[in-house]
Structure formats: C-alpha cells, structure tokens
C-alpha cells in the first residue's frame, strides 16, 4: 500500500507534482494550488491510500521535487 499526503495550504503552485505524477495530482483552477486526486482531507492534510504500488515512484519523485517539501510518500 502507498500512502501519499499533501499539506495543501502550504502549496506555492510550482506544478512539479503534476508534471511528475499527473495521475495523482492536478492544479486547481480556483486557487492555483495542487490537488491530490481521490484524497481525503483531515485538517489541511490531504491523504491518498492506494493499493497500486506502481504510483510510488512517480509520487516519490514529486515529493523530492517539491520546493516547499509538503508531500510525503510512504510504502507499507
């Protein structure tokens, strides 16, 4: 299982996550910040739990590229 977390309120809208993991992230047209698709919000932390281990590498690359380090990716 892969767990991806996005701290959306700290997003600066650089778009790296969308470029590296377009299946999991997209940019909001309303505020220009990243959206973690199919995630649940808990106090500003958006979390996606997926059984698809194939998303790990793309999401991990997105987390590493994020200049404000607001994406975490764990594999269980």
Tokens 């594999």 belong to residue: 75
Tokens 């590498």 belong to residue: 57
Architecture category of domain 2-75 in CATH: 2-Layer Sandwich (3.30)
Structural contact between residues 66 and 17, judged by C-beta atoms closer than 8 angstroms:
yes
Longest Cα–Cα distance in the chain: 34
DSSP state for residue 9 in the 8-state scheme: G
Give residue-wise pLDDT tens across range 14-62. Answer: 999 999 999 999 999 999 999 999 999 999 999 999 999 999 999 999 9
The residue ranges of every structural domain in the chain are: 2-75
3 state SS for 15-63: CHHHHHCCCCEEECCCCCCEEECCCEEECCEEEEEECCHHHHHHHHHHH
């Amino acid at each position: 299982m892969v767990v991806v977390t996005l701290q959306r309120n700290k997003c600066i809208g650089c778009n790296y996550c969308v470029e590296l993991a377009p299946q999991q992230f997209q940019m909001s047209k309303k505020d220009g910040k990243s959206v973690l698709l199919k995630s649940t919000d808990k106090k500003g932390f958006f979390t996606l739990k997926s059984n698809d281990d194939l998303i790990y590498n793309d999401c991990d690359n997105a987390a590493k590229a994020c200049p404000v380090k607001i994406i975490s990716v764990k594999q269980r």
